[in-house]
Amino acid sequence: MKKLFLAAFAVFAFANVNAQENVVKVNPLGLIFGSAQFSYERVLNEGSSVELSLAYTNLNANFSSGEEAKVNGFGAEGKYKLYFSSSNDAPRGWYGAPVVSYSSISGGSGSEEGKVNIFGAGVIGGYQWVFGGNATGFALDLNLGVQYINVSTSGDIDSLTVDGILPRLGLSIGYAW
């Protein structure tokens, strides 16, 4: 039984050494603004993949009155990428993708607290490069699109209203294997 398990593992491990099927990425632009976003992309076939992103936000803000506000929250995003290139297999080349996202952010200052829920749905187009050999390599993903955003608030927040279509820009760097 042990030999059968080792043989099956070896076949599975070496059957896909010619192409990347997994990509892990981070959004460097989000880190500048206090948000860490990590993504995992899994190739389904030569022309498509799915990507799941998780984000964590932690910010400190100072008001003109001198009060400090702490804001933190979590978010998730899903994409189904359709790759268009006939010369490259996924996860390389031009792609289009529907996107759905949800974030929940809460914060407060002094005795005031509030929560912001953000729902987004849209479509993006982009290009993903994978540099390196066929088995592993570094990835760079650049995309642009539009999305519908709906923001709802609760608690002491009453001046934040967003409900409409906004542009979207994405940049991620990572590792493919």
Identity of the highest mean pLDDT range in 19-23, 83-87, 110-114, 117-121? 117-121
List the structure tokens of 13.
Answer: 């491990």
State mean pLDDT over 109-116. Answer: 82
State mean pLDDT over 140-161. Answer: 88
Give Cα 48 to chain centroid, integer Å: 16
3: pLDDT strictly greater than 60: no
State mean pLDDT over 137-154. Answer: 95
When pLDDT is cut at 50, 70 and 90, the band that residue 9 belongs to is very low
Give Cα 128 to chain centroid, integer Å: 14
Q: What are the phi and psi torsion angles at 29 (to 5°)? A: -65, -35
- pTM equals 0.81
CATH classification number, 20-176, choose in 2.40.50.140, 2.40.160.20, 1.10.3720.10, 3.90.650.10: 2.40.160.20
- Closest by CA to 89, choosing from 53, 137, 49, is 49
User: What residue segments make up the domains of the chain, in order of their start?
Assistant: 20-176
State mean pLDDT over 6-35. Answer: 71
